[in-house]
Every structure is written in structure tokens, then in C-alpha cells.
Structure 1
């Protein structure tokens, strides 16, 4: 992504869209690899012929958790790097909703809006993002989520408030 911001500037971005990722194609190879990693081989994900014949989707679809797991890559692609950050931590989600299936071959991207940013302790900033994963040429998103992350930094870099 290339953009960088100072830790002291993060709180000023609350309420704004802070990044949009590039498109990612979700193909059968990716879906099959995720099925293997999670041992979730339900036919709607892994059997294109059966999914075309028996599901309402006309073919296979990505696991909802595959779409969710791609947020890490989309985050890295879309959001500016905090200059002073030494480590990022996935803290969790307050809300996740799977709104629409991602059909095999579809392209998805994420939009990130910074909903909250607050300092925690001497060396952490907790950020909350409202995230929407869009499906190219579809009206409904694949998912929406409230995602909480933590940026760890050296205490000497803590901004004055």
C-alpha cells in the first residue's frame, strides 16, 4: 500500500474511511485450500458439479470464514501503516454478519472506516474498524464486521493527548 501515518494522527481519522483494498479473486483453488485447512469439505464449497446441480448458487461458494480470513490481507493492503507501530494484534470482532455468498471466481474487496481509536496502557492503541467486504458487481456485500485491532508501539512514542 505504501502510505504511512504517525501514531499521533490516527485519532484524527475517527469517522473516516481510511482505506479500500485491491480486489482479490476467490477461485476454486483458494476455496479448496481453505477447505483442507479447516476440514470443511461441504459440497457447496468443494464440488462444482454437485453445487451447480443442487445449490441455489449455480456453483461453488467460498466459506464465510474464508472471506472473513481474507480481511488480514485486505487490511495490510488498504490501511496506512502506523509509522511507530512495532506489532499489530488482532483483538477480535464485536459483530460479524455474512450478508451474501461469494461465488467461485468472484472478486472481493474491503472498505475500512475507523470507528474508534484509543490509547491503552503505555504502549498500545486499540482501533475499531467498521468493515464492509464488497463483491464486484453485486449490490449486497459479502460481509460486514466490527473489527478491533491493537497497534503496539514503543512507550517513548506515545502521543500526548
Structure 2
């Protein structure tokens, strides 16, 4: 966990790789629950037997499941002690460059691209996030994530 006392201390990290997260394992149970919650039961995600015959040889995680991990990655990696709250403001760009086979371990690298003051004693942060899969040279996801933090 990287801890900052206040927003100014975090803003001083613009242009830097601020943190790398711990590894998170992707399970079939997570994939099934995500499919149910989102109404996306495509066979390449949830049908283990059919997926063995598919292009990846095993079920793969939904791209949006991988993307949804960003909240967890930020929550477990970056803390600003003086913050009142933080909100997800959106995404500028997202790419899913490689599949995430069931059983994969993922982690994210968080690069602070910009920090812009906003009304209400806050900052809008643009994070360039790269999610990697253990044992792979190619990232599985890259995203420009916008987060607003208020002190």
C-alpha cells in the first residue's frame, strides 16, 4: 500500500509509476459470477468442456471482468489519508490486448498521468493502468482511468 498524507503529495507524483499491485488470481467461480451478474454467459467464459475445444483451450475471463478489477487494484494499493471520498469518473480509452485464461494471476501497474484540481476541494486523476498476466510478455489490458478524490 502506498500512502499519501494529502492530495498535494499525490499530485506531486504526476509523470511517475506510482505503484504495482499484488497478484490477483482469476477463478472459474469469479468468471461464472461475473457472467451471471452482467448477463453475459458466452460459452468461452462459462462452459468449461466446450472451452477446451475453443481457441484458448480453457475458459477465459470477460474483458470487462478484467477491467472491473481496477477498483480493487486502486483500493488495495493507493491511499490518501486526508480524503473524504473517491469516485470512479470514467475511462478515456481501454484496450484488451490478450486473453485471460482461468487460473491466471493478474496485477496492475499504476502510472499517474495527470492531476487536475476540481471544484469541491478535489483532484481529477488520470491513471494509465497496465494489467499484466503472470508469465506473459503481453499486457492483457491497458486503460486510461479517471478517478476523482475529494479531501
Counterpart of 1:147 in structure 2 is 145
1:137 CA drift (Å): 0.3
Runs of 4+ in 1 over 6 A off after TM superposition: none
- Counterpart residue number, 2:116: 118
Which consecutive unaligned segments of at least 5 residues does structure 1 have?
A: 154-161
Show structure 2 runs of 5+ residues with no match: none
After superposition, the C-alpha distances for 1:48-97 in whole angstroms (9 at most, x for unaligned) are 110111x1101100000000001110111122x11211000100000000
TM-score (norm 2): 0.96
The answer on 1:59 being equivalent to 2:67 is no
Root-mean-square deviation over aligned CA pairs: 1.1
For residue 147 of structure 1, report the CA deviation from its aligned partner: 0.5
Partner of 2:93: 95
Deviation, 1:2, is 6.1
Distance 1:86 1:131 in 2: 23
TM-score scaled to structure 1, two decimals?
0.90
Higher-Rg structure is 1
Matches within 5 A, 1:7-46: 7-46=7-46
The structure-2 alpha-carbon separation of the partners of 1:2 and 1:12, relative to structure 1 and needing over 3 Å to count, comes to closer
